[in-house]
Amino acid sequence: MIMAKPKPIEEIINEIKDFNKVLIAGCDGCVTVCEAGGSKEVQVLASALRLFFTKESKRIEIDETSLTRQCDKDYLRELLDKIDNYDAVVSLACGAGVQFMAEMYRNKPIFPGVDTCFIGVTEERGVWTERCQACGQCILARTGGICPIARCSKRMLNGPCGGSEKGKCEVSPETDCGWHLIYERLKELGQLDYFSKPADPKDWVSSRDGGPRKIVREDVRL
């Protein structure tokens, strides 16, 4: 899932301080799972903002809502009737949600309420880690189900590098060496022979190097 973390409240205050009516819009998708932008976080942020502006004797009305997903027009349309009641929206969705809302409601300033971080997993409650960089050409079949693009700090295709020490990366002693993990896993699977076939250079056009990406599937289009 897409992982995000709450933006510092000072930053949000600074963006909305000159408006009179602001809507805080959460997203019940990924950002709810990482406890950054769901309906609970909307309540907390809205309440904290109300406290701040009341204390400052500024009369800003702050309302709350949360949509099933903000990366889907059908759900964004739920705001059609009420969006004109507001001067601005703080969206707690990931960067994609914020942008899609801004595309649909062109005359409204839409501010991000979270910092979108990565595609990752919930290791335990409160701990999320990166697993995928959406490079557009999955090579997990050859690497024991561990991604060298996301897990190796250098994104090496044929690792490990000389900076791997006792299973840790030279970038930080807390970071596992992705290629060490791959080696151990391939050993467990009896697939160490994959190491004898070096990987070909990767075509990064399917990643960000090819510009903003698009998937069109005629089989599912209406």
Partner 1 sequence: MRLRYPSNLKIIRVPCSGRVAIIHLLKALEEGADGVMVAGCLEGDCHYQAGNLRARKRVNYVREILEKIGMEVDRVAMYNVSAGDGPKFADIAREMTEKVKELGPSPIKDAKKLASKKSKVEVAA
Residue 9 or 117: which CB sits closer to partner 1?
9
C-alpha triplet 118, 26, 10: angle, nearest 5° = 80
Using the rule CB under 8 A, is 20 a contact of partner 1? no
**Bridging pattern class, strands 61-67 and 168-169:** unpaired
Q: What is the DSSP letter of 142?
A: G
Residue 21 or 168: which CB sits closer to partner 1?
21
- Give the C-alpha separation, 63 to 1, whole Å: 27
The site that binds partner 1 (CB under 8 A) totals a number of residues, namely: 17
**CB contact at 8 A, 108 and 85:** no
Tell the smallest beta-carbon distance from residue 90 to partner 1 (Å).
Answer: 15
Using the rule CB under 8 A, is 9 a contact of partner 1? yes
Using the rule CB under 8 A, is 48 a contact of partner 1? yes
214, two tokens: 């698009």
- Give the C-alpha separation, 58 to 165, whole Å: 56
Residue among 5, 17, 21, 50 that touches partner 1 (CB under 8 A): 50
Partners of 102 in beta bridges = none
Tell the smallest beta-carbon distance from residue 117 to partner 1 (Å).
Answer: 20
180, two tokens: 């060490």
Using the rule CB under 8 A, is 157 a contact of partner 1? no
- Give the C-alpha separation, 183 to 165, whole Å: 13
Selected range binding partner 1 among 20-28, 45-53, 66-74, 196-204, rule: CB under 8 A: 45-53
Q: Which of residues 54-73 bind partner 1 (CB under 8 A)?
A: 54-57, 59
Using the rule CB under 8 A, is 14 a contact of partner 1? no
Interacting residue ranges for partner 1, rule: CB under 8 A: 8-10, 13, 40, 43-44, 47-48, 50-52, 54-57, 59
